[in-house]
Amino acid sequence: EAEILLHDKQYLDAARLFARASQVSNQGQPLVRAYQAYASAGQSTEGEKLLDQWLRAHPDDSLIRHHLAQAQLNANRLKESADNYRQLVKANPGDFVAYNNLAWLLGELKSPEAIPTAEQALRLKPDNPAILDTLGWLLINSGQAQRGIEQIRKALAKAPDSPQIHWHLAAGLAKTGDKVRARQELERLFQSGLAFPQENEARKLLDSLK
């Protein structure tokens, strides 16, 4: 019934039924759908409360903790998100997704542990383009642009259609003073028509390189 309500865009009614399904089944999985329904209704905070309450009673539920950490990241509550990702990697040292997300968050929080955390993620999954991109971007922003660009190029070889990785390459090239290639990379990126979160920042950089 909750799925039908969600399909019909009756988000709040769907969210309440998903929460009830979790209570009846004593399973956390329906709370993920409850969060998604609340988020669709513009009330993601209510969904987060359900995830948080579940984790207080079931602290070892990694699935729910992953969803809560991602929800906090989406809400720009970086420290809270990082704390949850720390718990995830402590519980499962092989969780390369948690390591990668934690590395990005630590970079945003200006922590010296950001690069070592990304390097650990890469050791766990050496060919993952998202991890290569994270490490490359962290290196670029820490004054190691040439080394960072190497990682970004490896990421692009594995995910050539990723606009965010193209943006990171362009920004890295600009930091090394290679304005010509940075401009070419940005022009190709905008010609592709692909959307990415840093589009305004990228346009400002392109204007400055002309």
C-beta of residue 188 within 8 angstroms of C-beta of residue 159: no
The 10s digit of each residue's pLDDT in 184-197 is: 999 999 999 888 88
pTM for the model stands at 0.89
- pLDDT tens readout for residues 128-186: 999 999 999 999 999 999 999 999 999 999 999 999 999 999 999 999 999 999 999 99
C-alpha torsion angle, residues 59, 68, 109, 208 (rounded to 10): 160
Q: How far apart are CA 169 and CA 130, in angstroms?
A: 13
- Residues with Cβ within 8 Å of 191's Cβ and at least 6 positions away in sequence, in order, are none
DSSP E strands, the chain: none
Vertex 3: Cα angle to 21 and 1 (nearest 5): 65
CA 83 to chain centre: 15
